[in-house]
Amino acid sequence: MPDPSGLSIHEAASLLGGGKISSEELTRSVFSRIKKHEPKIHAYLALTEAGALAQARESDQRRASGKTRGPLDGIPLGIKDNMCTLGTETTCASKILKGWIPPYDATVVRKLREAGAVFTGKLNLDEFAMGSSTENSAFGVTHNPWDLSRVPGGSSGGSAAAVSADLCLGALGSDTGGSIRQPAALCGVVGLKPTYGRVSRYGLVAFASSLDQIGPLAKDVEDAAIILEAIEGFDEKDSTSVKQPGNPVRPALGRGVKGMKFGVAKEWLAEGLDPEVRASFDTARQTLEKLGASFVEVSMPRQEFGLPVYYLIAPAEASSNLARYDGVRYGLRETGANIIEMYKKTRNAGFGPEVKRRIILGTFVLSAGYYDAYYLSALKARTILRKDYETALAQCDFLLSPATPTPAFKIGEKSGDPLQMYLSDIYTVSVNLAGLPGMVLPGGFSKGGLPIGIQLIGPAFREDVLFQAASALEKELGLAGKKPPLEGAGA
Amino acid sequence: MPDFETVIGLEVHVELATASKLFCGCPTKFGAPPNTHVCPVCLGLPGVLPVLNRQALEWSVMTGIALGCAISPRFKFDRKHYYYPDLPKNFQISQYDIPFALNGHLDLPSGRKVGITRVHLEEDAGKLIHEGAAGQIGGGTAALVDYNRTGIPLMEIVSEPDIRQPAEAAEYLKEIQKIVRYLRVSDGNMDEGSLRCDANISLRVMGETKLGAKVEIKNMNSFRGVERALEHEVIRQRELLLAGKVPAMETRLFDEESGETRSMRGKEQAHDYRYFPEPDLTPFTMSPERLEEIRKRIPELPAERLKKFQDAPFSLSEYDAQVLTADQKVGDYFEKVVANKASPKLASNWITTEFLALLKDSTLDALVAKVSPEEMAKMIILIENGTISGKIAKTVFPEMVKTGKTAEAIVKEQGLTQIADEGSLRTEVEKIVAANPKSIADYKAGKQQALGFLIGQVMKATQGKANPGIANKLVKEILEKL
């Protein structure tokens, strides 16, 4: 049998179900893969091997006594380190939370526990999920498994890299402006940002509350569906989670795209798009047409406002959400002559430059005298952007777009230029502003062998049709299961 | 010398008596050991989210209705930012531009009508406990934080600047206390901090319509404290104005010890709270049906009851009606006594004097447990039908409170039934008159006091059981015949 760490969740689940492999064996194979490749990738901030093996053995016992819990029972998964895990350090890749051990599980973590999942560890991210490359992690950058000199994307870069390099079978990420989808594209895996409100945010350390959403990063579309079904649903602890979150997604897999209508926004294919990205977008389009789907050109005239609006709303909310890190109750505390000095020193030492930049920006836009001009205008523009989506989606079933303007860039290439970095989320941010579901799946490779992603955007709570289309496209493109050339690659 | 008018507006904070906190399930009970009524949510740990307590929402709406406010059909919460160690998130979830309730008013018994600007709901902060030098942050060696109070629902009632005297401010506050207690949404105890108050005060030349620069006074912990602080502030501002100076717009702290206010922070240090809509709580709507449902649950309010008690069939004096409506339970007791056929006037007399006097050493609930309204009514009926005199009743009632026995039983046991039979009293009266020749002479000389003395002697001889009316009539009759 090939190395079990390379299995997809559904493959592993069927081997576990058939008694061909135990969860303990599967878990051990993942950890031996981690030992081999993690040093050069650095996807993890914490590994929980002992706990994972205990969970795996419990899963095997359940299976032996006929009490298995479903497709995730015994499956090794990684958790982005901005989701609270009872008893396991949760840092958000920030010095300010170093050493903080949550006294509770995030709802998604609790649900995965209850589904029998095995937790491999906590995955790297840009500090407080602010960034597009994991270069903003206080604990070191994650390397893209397809080219170790390049970024894995971000902020869920650890999650995308770990899934891509078989350092776990699937992972949770969070997406505020593209933080699941952009790294999924850059690492050649599937990533879903569900509709806002479909998955509980309780226990996700907040970055921008009105935009944050947890979702799966997976080796293929079916795995993403399995994870989504395990974590979704109304949570009485999250007032923004929705009571009826839509149809189940797994039954929609494999239904094909015949008769479906895809919209393409002309504004998305304007200049600045990398020719190789454009080429794989065209391939995806032709493939869908071959499968019986039709295309219509739509217009998203206010798309250009997406990034500016995002960079007003997200920092404003972040400046508020991050106010609690003050050294009084938990995490880092620097000493000061008085409390104000203690606050200043703690926050100065605890936060990295990008987090500080956004706190300053957010504090400014919420300040008296500026609120109306910036924050209030941004809220109005957000409503207009949402209307653009409504209008476009009234003419078609989905929108098809590139996931990122370019494949993975070099580590250090954009880290000195925040505006360049922000542009890498140009295709993803407005989806968060509109609260819609967006899915990225592998669409091809550059000549240099770097993955290129395709994004599907659907109406709110219609993840089922999104999965239906994605599974058809994935099958036809035949890219699932392509592995990065890690053997022999050096750090 | 110009005449000045005092302009006062109050911001009253009422801690709601819900079983759990505003955004989590922690208990709200006062006096628990520090940091035992806390959870990840009220501690503002990373990742937590607020969930609104529906009871707190309904109670705030109810209070808004009781204060004559318009209730917003749609409202939201906002975040108010400031750094302080007792505020775990360094922002407070409050309501900024769309509160529950707007534009109400409160009529004070003294006649002043005070506009209510708004009623809104927010979360309370924790408490700092300073170690080292007593009380003062500056001199302390360490500060500890107790987060038990963090997240307790706090209802803020903001008045218009309609109050004109410090005494009116205290009166307004007492009325608010009465209303929240009648609504049973808060215990309204100022000493436990469940009723707190900040005041805005300025002076202006009489006849001027523009408001002067307002001074905010904090840290007033009793009705008397509110009055004293404002009295001091009126004098301070008046002196400044008379000296040709303008009082600075600032926040001042009241010092209970000295009875003075001192500057806490100036306008230039005023906070920019950076309010913005709380993204973790989506806006709420209040349907007309739901509003009606809440409206129906509002009990009779103090002002309505005050009027009712002065109208027929109660027909009490304003003073008695005030006393009986000060505490809802006392008013309830009174109404039950009357419902059991006691005369309203006698019931009011007995409750406002003998009954309430016992509250010094007992609680209302304990008293009611000993003397039910039914038994109180029966005792009053015994007076009304002449079975016992009012004087005898004054010995019967304490016995009822002490033993829990009925008035009837006590009267029977102790043979306290009034002597209202002329025949049996006459012999006694004749004997007493005969034994007091000086009184007879005085009476004949026109001294009316002699009559009173003789009646007193009759009462004494009968251990108070003689019917005073009949005793009076008999003494007169016998004297006249002599």
Q: Check whether residue B34 and residue B61 sit in a common domain.
A: yes
**What pLDDT tens digit does each residue of chain A (491 aa) get?**
679 999 999 999 999 999 999 999 999 999 999 999 999 999 999 999 999 999 999 999 999 999 999 999 999 999 999 999 999 999 999 999 999 999 999 999 999 999 999 999 999 999 999 999 999 999 999 999 999 999 999 999 999 999 999 999 999 999 999 999 999 999 999 999 999 999 999 999 999 999 999 999 999 999 999 999 999 999 999 999 999 878 999 999 999 999 999 999 988 887 678 999 999 999 999 999 999 999 999 998 888 899 999 999 999 999 999 999 999 999 999 999 999 999 999 999 999 999 999 999 999 999 988 999 999 999 999 999 999 999 999 999 999 999 999 999 999 999 888 888 888 888 999 999 999 999 999 999 999 999 999 999 999 999 999 999 999 999 999 998 789 999 766 54
pLDDT confidence of residue B460: 84
Q: Check whether residue B388 and residue B277 sit in a common domain.
A: no
B379 within a domain of the structure (yes/no): yes
- The C-alpha atoms of residue B422 and residue B415 are separated, in whole angstroms, by 18
* Of B25 and B354, more confident: B25
Q: Do B145 and A328 touch (CB under 8 A)?
A: yes
- Partners of residue B24 on adjacent β-strands: none
Q: CB under 8 Å to A173, separation ≥6 — which residues?
A: A80, A123, A156, A159, A160, A179, A180, A183, A184, A191, A214, A215, A216, A217
- Partners of residue A92 on adjacent β-strands: none
Domain boundaries of chain A, sorted by first residue: 4-261+395-477, 304-379
pLDDT confidence of residue A387: 95
Q: Are β-strands A76-80 and A118-123 bridged in parallel, bridged antiparallel, or unpaired?
A: parallel
B203 within a domain of the structure (yes/no): yes
Q: What is the side-by-side strand order in the sheet with A170-175?
A: A44-47, A118-123, A76-80, A170-175, A213-218, A190-193, A438-445, A451-457, A398-402, A261-265, A294-298
Number of domains in chain B: 3
B259 within a domain of the structure (yes/no): yes
Closest partner residue to B272 (CB to CB) among A203, A323, A368 is A368
What does the angle CA A230 – CA A231 – CA A237 come to, to the nearest 5 degrees? 140
pLDDT confidence of residue B300: 95
B295 within a domain of the structure (yes/no): no
Which positions in chain B touch A240 (Cβ < 8 Å)?
49, 279-282
Q: Which residue is catalytic, options A5, A22, A59, A80?
A: A80
Separation in Å, CA of A313 to nearest CA in chain B? 11
Nearest-CA residue of chain B relative to A83? B47
Specify the amino acid at residue B95.
Q
pLDDT confidence of residue B434: 86
A364 touching B (Cβ < 8 Å) = no
* For range B269-298, the mean pLDDT: 91
Separation in Å, CA of B20 to nearest CA in chain A? 15
Mutate to test the interface with B, among A196, A237, A313 (most CBs of B within 10 A): A237
Backbone angles phi, psi at A460, to 5 degrees: -55, 135
pLDDT confidence of residue A368: 87
C-beta neighbour count of A177 within 10 angstroms: 30
For A392, B218, B233, the CA distances from B201, given in Å and listed in that order, are 57, 11, 8
Separation in Å, CA of A108 to nearest CA in chain B? 12
B128 touching A (Cβ < 8 Å) = no
- Partners of residue B13 on adjacent β-strands: B156, B196
Query: Is A155 a catalytic site residue?
Result: yes
- The C-alpha atoms of residue A430 and residue A420 are separated, in whole angstroms, by 17
The b-or-e profile of A388-420 (16+ CB within 10 A means b, else e) is bbeebbeebbbbbbbbbbbbbbebebbbeebee
Cα torsion through A137, A139, A144, A147, rounded to 10: 120
Q: Check whether residue B271 and residue B318 sit in a common domain.
A: no
Nearest-CA residue of chain A relative to B271? A368
CB distance A283 to A443 below 8 Å? yes
Q: Report the residue count for chain B.
A: 482
Mutate to test the interface with A, among B22, B43, B49 (most CBs of A within 10 A): B49
Q: Which two tokens stand for residue A469?
A: 């289309």
CB distance A134 to A1 below 8 Å? no
Q: Do B279 and A209 touch (CB under 8 A)?
A: yes
Backbone angles phi, psi at A438, to 5 degrees: -135, 135
B283 within a domain of the structure (yes/no): yes
Q: Check whether residue B108 and residue B225 sit in a common domain.
A: yes
Q: Match 């799946």 to its residue by tokens.
A: A441
pLDDT confidence of residue B291: 94
Domain limits for position B343: 300-414
pLDDT confidence of residue B133: 53
Give residue B144's region: left, alpha or beta (phi > 0; psi -120 to 50).
beta
Closest partner residue to A323 (CB to CB) among B49, B50, B89 is B89
Q: Match 């009462």 to its residue by tokens.
A: B459
Low-confidence winner among B40-54, B194-208, B458-472 (lowest mean pLDDT): B458-472
Instruction: Give the residue from B390, B414, B438 where a domain finishes.
Output: B414
Q: Check whether residue B322 and residue B372 sit in a common domain.
A: yes
* For range B197-201, the mean pLDDT: 96
Q: What is the 3-state secondary structure (H, E, C) of chain A?
A: CCCHHHCCHHHHHHHHHCCCCCHHHHHHHHHHHHHHHHHHHCCEEEECHHHHHHHHHHHHHHHHCCCCCCCCCCCEEEEECCECECCECCCCCCHHHCCCCCCCCCHHHHHHHHCCCEEEEEECCCHHHCCCCCCCCCCCCCCECCECCECCCCCCHHHHHHHHCCCCCEEEEEECCCCCHHHHHHHCCEEEECCCCCECCCCECCCCCCCCEEEEEECCHHHHHHHHHHHECCCCCCCCCCCCCCCCCHHHCCCCCCCCEEEEEHHHHCCCCCHHHHHHHHHHHHHHHHCCCEEEEECCCCHHHHHHHHHHHHHHHHHHHHHHCCCCCCCCCCCCCCHHHHHHHHHHHHCCHHHHHHHHHHHHHCCCCCCHHHHHHHHHHHHHHHHHHHHHHHCCCEEEEECCCCCCCECCCCCCCHHHHHHCCCCCHHHHHHCCCEEEEEEEECCCCCEEEEEEECCCCCHHHHHHHHHHHHHHHCCCCCCCCCCCCCC
- The C-alpha atoms of residue B251 and residue B216 are separated, in whole angstroms, by 5
B46 touching A (Cβ < 8 Å) = yes
Q: Do A205 and B47 touch (CB under 8 A)?
A: yes
Nearest-CA residue of chain A relative to B86? A328
Query: Is A65 a catalytic site residue?
Result: no
CA pseudo-torsion sign B47, A313, B86, A340: positive
Q: Check whether residue B259 and residue B350 sit in a common domain.
A: no
First to last CA, chain A: 28
- The C-alpha atoms of residue A112 and residue B198 are separated, in whole angstroms, by 49
Any idea what the CATH number is for the domain that residue B464 is in? 1.10.10.410
A243 touching B (Cβ < 8 Å) = no
Total CB pairs under 8 A between chain A and B: 98
Q: Check whether residue B35 and residue B131 sit in a common domain.
A: yes
Mutate to test the interface with B, among A200, A324, A380 (most CBs of B within 10 A): A324
pTM of the full predicted structure? 0.91
A380 touching B (Cβ < 8 Å) = no
Q: CB under 8 Å to B249, separation ≥6 — which residues?
A: B213, B214, B215, B266, B267
Confidence grade of residue B15 (pLDDT, cut at 50, 70, 90): very high
- The C-alpha atoms of residue A315 and residue A309 are separated, in whole angstroms, by 10
Q: Check whether residue B221 and residue B323 sit in a common domain.
A: no
Q: What is the pLDDT of residues B401-446, one digit of tens each?
A: 888 888 888 888 887 777 777 787 888 888 888 888 888 888 888 8
pLDDT confidence of residue B139: 57
- The C-alpha atoms of residue A263 and residue A372 are separated, in whole angstroms, by 35
Q: Match 């050991």 to its residue by tokens.
A: B33
Q: Check whether residue B250 and residue B173 sit in a common domain.
A: yes
Q: Compute the half-sphere exposure of residue B413: CA atoms within 13 Å on the CB side of its CA.
A: 10
Closest CA to B225 of B202, B250, B254, B201: B254
Query: Is A20 a catalytic site residue?
Result: no
Q: Do B276 and A205 touch (CB under 8 A)?
A: no
Q: Check whether residue B88 and residue B217 sit in a common domain.
A: yes
Confidence grade of residue B228 (pLDDT, cut at 50, 70, 90): very high
- The C-alpha atoms of residue A229 and residue A240 are separated, in whole angstroms, by 18
Closest CA to A83 of B48, B436, B314: B48
Separation in Å, CA of B167 to nearest CA in chain A? 36
Output the DSSP codes for B73-128.
SEE--EEEE---TTSTTSEEEE--SS-SEEEEEEE-TTS-EEEEEEEEEEE---EE
Closest partner residue to B49 (CB to CB) among A237, A319, A363 is A237
- The C-alpha atoms of residue B396 and residue A458 are separated, in whole angstroms, by 83
* For range B93-121, the mean pLDDT: 94
For B125, B234, B292, B401, the CA distances from B200, given in Å and listed in that order, are 22, 11, 34, 47
For B97, B115, B120, B159, B269, the CA distances from B104, given in Å and listed in that order, are 16, 6, 13, 9, 32
Nearest-CA residue of chain A relative to B146? A329
B254 within a domain of the structure (yes/no): yes
Q: Check whether residue B177 and residue B201 sit in a common domain.
A: yes
First to last CA, chain B: 73
Q: CB under 8 Å to A106, separation ≥6 — which residues?
A: A83, A84, A85, A200, A202, A203, A204, B47
Fold of A4-261+395-477: Amidase signature (AS) enzymes (3.90.1300)
Strand locations in B292-449 (E): none
Q: Which residue is catalytic, options A179, A401, A424, A471?
A: A179
CB distance B325 to B331 below 8 Å? yes
Q: Which two tokens stand for residue A371?
A: 């609120």
pLDDT confidence of residue B331: 95
A-proximal residues of B, 297-326, CB under 8 Å: none
pLDDT confidence of residue B1: 60
pLDDT confidence of residue A491: 45
Instruction: Give the residue from B414, B444, B470 where a domain finishes.
Output: B414
Closest partner residue to B88 (CB to CB) among A236, A324, A367 is A324
- Cis (ω within 30 of 0) for the bond into B313? yes
